[in-house]
Structure 1
């Protein structure tokens, strides 16, 4: 498929379809409404099912049922809607059901506004729901990467039998960029997903049942231990990070998603003035790419965490990843405002000035 100019939400939807998604359950909430709207017309064309649910609670529980069949299934929402899905996410993780959940973040807390924000970092990486579980969390910074990560998300969810969240924001949902959406070839889930719900002729008519309820403490401990062993494998194998002009940097910006795009432009401007600034961009927010921070060059004297979050929610992960060896400063905007290129540039100049760099 050649590159096509598409809106972010529609590109995300088409990428899911080309990755084999055939079941979508959702409820409208801005700024992601074009995803279910697109799915409602496209899925029937490819033999899939779109279900408009009565609430986000219904959507996540319908997704649990769809994922239990072994077929690729998905839901999308925005910040307060994701909050309503929290209990269902925990059940899905307990049942080891593969699915993709997209959060096109809006500003908050409360109902907030439809402008971009990154205030859902804690919700995504520390688990929206209850109990000992994790989700893989992917954070694109452009539409082509969003397309690719949506498709990777389906593969990862089935590889590890776990929910995967793709974290975007209002900018990414509404912007238009040229994207290439490739078709992923997948096997019929009924031929390879032995765990999936349903009747098995090859098993003499036995039915496969998916359990996500363990009442006996010894059974629950065994299952949670099994989940933790899986999460250790994910931590080891699935860390993703981009490093930009870090090799000789004295100041490194840590930023993800849309914010990293402004940071990259600021870095290019600073480099033109001879100032050595680089970028480290987590692509997986969980597992957090600690490996990408551990071997920073000796030239790095300072890190700057830039976010659209008043609580600087990624800050602790940056500090943990560097084992607190380097000082970390912060800069951000919130409430729907984005740190501008000039603001990031000015903050870097201020910090470099304190290091004796002009």
Structure 2
């Protein structure tokens, strides 16, 4: 009889950290901010034991620029922060996107704007999916819905970062980061730790031609060419879009929600199903690229939609853009500063189901 994989009971933040180690992360650069502090705390110990390097930078700005340097050298590296800290990292993220430098970035979203609070929220969706810094760029954005997925998607983030030469953002929140669940850790096979050796800056010692990684393009037409190249790459990502579809086949109403709110909405869907009401859930796992095609297919089947977010309406724009030719979406905001429950969602779901 084969041995069953060992299950461990961990926080979402620790699952992300363990996923990074499984993905052979070699460097971590961070700065303390609640509610993501478990990540640098874990990495400061366990990454060192795994033979990597941990640096608590003097600021979020410094941490992001250290990440840029490590990625340019072809090193599998990561940083993490929470909302105000993420705002400080945006300039470096823009440079990474413009330079096509791979990196993994974790945002455990908290309430805002400003310093807000240390509780959960989803107010960073625009920043996370529109390119939060200057210029025309996007980066891959993943939104785990449970602790196992936090582990799995962190491994996937490193794969995507190096395959696509892009920053990849993992967007969680205080619920996802702080709650504990059992997970089954696993090790990916055949990680190519030499990936990037054909483009990275690692010292040539006159044994090859010099390489240049840059985001500054001053020659006539050069920047336009780079932007055209980047946009083509972003467009191709649409084939990598992913979503969970739960009880949508015969649903009259489909709830659109992501991350921890998607998890809470799923509990509400189960309750309505027990009562014989045809409600389903569409939970985007990739926020960028957004799973437009799958959502449009549901709209073309004549379904109605309700978007629920822990903000004042951000993913709502992407939902409406995806289905705009055939349908619209109702919206229910959960104001940052409040902690949502499945019971709170029942009334807005029932109202949308009854067309109120």
TM-score normalised by the chain length of structure 1: 0.94
Cα deviation, residue 343, structure 1: 1.9
Alpha-carbon distance in structure 2 between the residues aligned to 1:188 and 1:354 = 54
Q: Does the 8 Å CA contact 1:247/1:297 hold for their aligned counterparts?
A: no
Give the deviation of 1:187 after TM superposition.
Answer: 2.3
* Cα separation, 1, equivalents of 2:193 and 2:22: 14
- What is the deviation of 1:318? 0.5
SS at match of 2:25: coil
> Equivalent residue for 1:266?
268
Could you tell me how far 1:51 is from its partner in structure 2?
Answer: 0.7
The aligned residue for residue 45 of structure 1 is 49
> Match for 1:290 among 289, 292, 297?
292
Residue 56, structure 1, aligned to residue 69, structure 2: no
The superposition leaves residues 211-242 of structure 1 with CA deviations (integer Å, 9 ceiling, x where unpaired) of 2221224111111111111111112x210011
Asked if 1:327 is matched to 2:328, the reply is yes
Distance 1:276 1:338 in 2: 26
What is the rounded CA distance, in whole Å, between the counterparts of 1:336 and 1:292 in structure 2?
32
Indicate conservation of the 8 Å contact 2:130/2:137, yes or no: no
In the alignment, is the contact (CA less than 8 A) between 2:74 and 2:202 conserved in 1? no
Taking the aligned partners of 2:352 and 2:306, their CA distance within structure 1 comes to 9
Structure-2-length-normalised TM-score: 0.95
Deviation at 1:110, TM superposition (A): 0.3
1:177 counterpart SS class: strand
The 8 Å contact of residues 100 and 165 in structure 2, kept in 1 or not, is answered as: yes
Which residue is 1:186 aligned to?
191
- 1:298 offset after TM fit, Å? 5.9
Superimposed CA distance per residue, residues 279-338 of structure 1 (whole angstroms, 9 cap, x where no aligned partner): 11111100000011121166644210000002x101111111112422311112122323
CA contact (8 A) 1:29 1:77 kept: yes
The correspondence of residues 193-208 of structure 1 with structure 2, limited to 5 A, is 193-200=197-204, 204-208=207-211
2:318 is matched with: 317
Is it true that 1:336 corresponds to 2:341 in the alignment? no
Equivalent residue runs for 1:125-140 within 5 Å: 125-140=129-144
Aligned residues: 351
Any stretches of 5+ residues in structure 2 without a counterpart?
Answer: none
Q: 1:211 aligns with which of 210, 214, 225?
A: 214
Q: Answer yes or no: is the 8 Å Cα contact 1:252–1:279 preserved in 2.
A: yes
The C-alpha deviation readout for 1:40-80, integer Å capped at 9, x for no partner, is 11111111110110001001100000001112011000001
Displacement after TM superposition at 1:207 (Å)? 3.7
- Indicate yes or no: 2:229 matched with 1:220: no
Alpha-carbon distance, 1:193 to partner: 2.3
Preserved CA contact (<8 Å) 2:299 2:326: no
In the aligned structure 1, how far is the partner of 2:196 from the partner of 2:282? Answer: 38
